[in-house]
Amino acid sequence: MKKIYGPFGPNRETFSSIESIKKRADQDIPSTKRGVYISDFLADVLFQHHQRYKNQIRSNEFQITPDRAVRIVDSSGNPRWSTFSFKEIFSMPSWEQIAKKQFLKRWQESWRQRILDFSYDPERRNRNPQLKFRFLEGQICALCKNRMATDIDHVSPYHEVIMNLAIHIKIMNDPILQRDLENEWRKPFDRNYDTLMSGAFDEYDSMSSQGKYIFLCKPCHIVVTKKRQK
């Protein structure tokens, strides 16, 4: 028997596939990226199926922003904003995907800027002798030698290697940590991975601090990344 999803929304719509639900949800999103909008349809989908929201109290003032944030009621009865993803409505990410997302966040919010600052500030290098980044200096792209460098590329080890090694060393053989990562993801509010992943972050930081990097322009970085993924 074919699975039926729904009914959703004030029109009590039903669907025969997850893909058709996502297409219908996209129709509710306004073209503008400003402000908020109401979608009773998407509210029903989230509260019936999304692992973060299916057990939450639905707000009478249900609102969504076009950048995928939803306003719902927290455990204290106060309306708050919480992010969500269409991709995760019917299937939550694996613990490995959750961990990799945290490593990427750590790279973007910490290590990338740290390496940039270290590269262009001799005094900072003198103050931090324990950091031994190896890089090709200069503000011109190291590959095309024509455009200004705006990105940093992991030459050795690749960023994917750093993440996989940290996962293998600190998370792979720890089923309790894997479970806790997934449980933390399910929380709609105040998710905090720093304590859970402290050991994995230590491994990640150690490998990042000893890495070799080059500075590239955006077009060259895209080309290098695509070649590496083949």
Phi, psi of 26 (to 5 degrees): -60, -30
In the DSSP assignment, the letter for residue 133 is -
- For 184, the 3-state DSSP assignment is helix
4-18, 66-80, 162-176, range with the lowest pLDDT: 66-80
Q: Answer yes or no: are the C-beta atoms of 73 and 79 closer than 8 Å.
A: yes
Angstrom distance (rounded) from CA 154 to CA 152: 7
Q: Is 0.85 surpassed by the pTM of this model?
A: no
pLDDT reported for residue 125: 57
Judged against a pLDDT cut of 90, whether residue 168 lies above it is answered with yes
Portion of the chain with pLDDT greater than 90, in percent: 47
- Each domain of the chain, given as residue ranges in start order, spans 5-88, 95-229
Judged against a pLDDT cut of 90, whether residue 119 lies above it is answered with no
When pLDDT is averaged across residues 41-51 and rounded to a whole number, the result is: 92
Sort strands 212-216 and 134-135 into parallel, antiparallel or unpaired: parallel
Judged against a pLDDT cut of 80, whether residue 27 lies above it is answered with yes
Q: Check residues 128 and 82 and name the one with the higher pLDDT.
A: 82
For residue 14, give every residue at least 6 positions away whose Cβ sits within 8 Å of its Cβ, in sequence order, or none: 4, 5, 6, 7, 8
